[in-house]
Amino acid sequence: MSYDKHILIYNRYLILIMIVDQFDYNLPPERIAKRPARPRDSSKLMHISEHSIKDKYFYQLPEMLKKNDVLVFNNTRVLPARIFGEVSKRKIELLIHRQEEDYIWQVLARPSKILRDNDIVNFPDSSYAQVIGRTKHNFPILKFFTGNKSFKHFLDLNGQVPIPPYLNRKYDNEDIVDYQTVFASEDGSVAAPTAGLHFTERIIQKIKDMGIIIEFVTLHIGIGTFKNITEKDIINHKMHEEYISITEDVAKRLNNAKSNGSRIVAVGTTALRTLESSSLDGGVILPSSKFTDLFVMPGYKFKIVDLLLTNFHLPRSSLMVLISAFAGIEIIKKSYQYAIDNNYRFYSYGDACLIERKK
């Protein structure tokens, strides 16, 4: 394992800077899942610990949990955030990704160069939007005029769920259901918390019947989820801010469970980042309603999460760095190669893994 030779302080802990190449791997294109397993809980599930890799199926997850475990889900709901319109009689595609105020959103535009300040974008239902400014990253800010329709109704009429670009296919009606968790309730994401996609009502009920506690937090996933790390030294990577929320009641119950020795199982990297972003060094979770840009990398000291349920992630991504910090880079490299060699399916619609935190 190669490291840069210089040292820095990160989150008050001393670490060696690591180059992004260490979080790369080669994935045969046929390993990218274009559709989810059917039923959802029939996907493969790899159990990863420091000393072993075990093959399971997702419907066996309840057997891998303990009675006093706490599962923490991200209850965000994916918006039909990709909308199509016209500006000066030219077609344009918009991706709304962060709300500023009611009816005012930051967007990505394609093609980007045709959208100028004060331009009007017209939509098929006679609604329109106007460019009223730009962010510090030069993202256009649009105010939407939807007549007597709510913004949610406007999106339902005009929008599509923004499936990941690496699926390399067109969106269709199956994605409306497939790219949404069965427990989604809080509107706000442009991508799904994909670890949650494997859960069915049946397996959730089975987990509850075992006496295992289920809690919900919120992280609205933004455009940064598709962004690879382009910096050579990962410390220079800048995360996009994403909104998180933990209610006072949920924080209290999680703190009680943690103090009683329960294992906290984060369902997805977004649930993990929400919990870790809302915790004190002593392991106390605080109620939260804020934005986070937490970048978890090797050297980070986990305060809350004991196990992580997650999918297989893109190379050179912040999520690949996160799971390497959680489990150890060598076991992640070994498990990913094992997954490739044993026909696991990768990315959003792919298989899952249950990872035990490195001691």
**CATH number for the domain harbouring residue 34:** 3.40.1780.10
- 254 with 350, same domain: the answer is yes
Q: Residue 172: inside a domain, yes or no?
A: no
- 98 with 18, same domain: the answer is no
Tokens describing residue 216: 């919900």
CA distance linking residue 260 with residue 171, whole number of Å: 46
- 47 with 138, same domain: the answer is no
Q: Residue 1: inside a domain, yes or no?
A: no
- 201 with 321, same domain: the answer is yes
- 262 with 133, same domain: the answer is no
8-state DSSP, 286: P
Q: Residue 286: inside a domain, yes or no?
A: yes
- 207 with 338, same domain: the answer is yes
| pLDDT of the residue at 135 | 92
Query: Could you tell me the pTM of the whole model?
Result: 0.93
Q: Residue 340: inside a domain, yes or no?
A: yes
Nearest to 358 by CA among 324, 312, 335: 324
Per-residue pLDDT of the chain in tens (359 residues, 90 and over written 9): 333 334 444 444 444 568 899 999 999 999 999 999 999 999 999 999 999 999 999 999 999 999 999 999 999 999 999 999 999 999 999 999 999 999 999 999 999 888 999 999 999 999 999 999 999 888 999 999 999 999 999 999 999 999 999 999 999 999 999 999 999 999 999 999 999 999 999 999 999 999 999 999 999 999 887 678 999 999 899 998 999 999 999 999 999 999 999 999 999 999 999 999 999 989 999 999 999 999 999 999 999 999 999 999 999 999 999 999 999 999 999 999 999 999 999 999 999 999 999 98
**In terms of DSSP H, where are the helices of 184-317?**
201-209, 248-259, 269-277
Q: Residue 156: inside a domain, yes or no?
A: yes
Nearest to 36 by CA among 355, 352, 354: 352
- The CATH number assigned to the domain holding 108 equals 2.40.10.240
| pLDDT of the residue at 204 | 98
CA distance linking residue 343 with residue 316, whole number of Å: 21
Q: What is the number of residues in the chain?
A: 359
- 265 with 298, same domain: the answer is yes
CA distance linking residue 78 with residue 175, whole number of Å: 11
Q: Residue 171: inside a domain, yes or no?
A: no
- 68 with 92, same domain: the answer is no
- 42 with 104, same domain: the answer is no
Query: Residue 281 is part of which domain span?
Result: 7-78+178-356
Quote the distance between the C-alpha of residue 34 and its chain's center.
18
Q: Residue 261: inside a domain, yes or no?
A: yes
**Which of 96, 129, 160 is where one domain is finished?**
160
Report how many domains make up the chain: 2
Bond before 193 cis per omega within 30 degrees: no
| pLDDT of the residue at 16 | 53
- 210 with 324, same domain: the answer is yes
CA distance linking residue 302 with residue 272, whole number of Å: 10
Q: Residue 73: inside a domain, yes or no?
A: yes
Q: What are the backbone dihedrals phi and psi of residue 355, each rounded to the nearest 5 degrees, phi first? A: -110, 130
**Which of 127, 160, 193 is where one domain is finished?**
160
- 189 with 52, same domain: the answer is yes
Residue 26's region, left for phi above 0, alpha for psi from -120 to 50, else beta, is beta
CA distance linking residue 272 with residue 308, whole number of Å: 8
**Which of 160, 187, 202 is where one domain is finished?**
160
| pLDDT of the residue at 17 | 63
- 244 with 276, same domain: the answer is yes
Nearest to 100 by CA among 149, 134, 126: 134
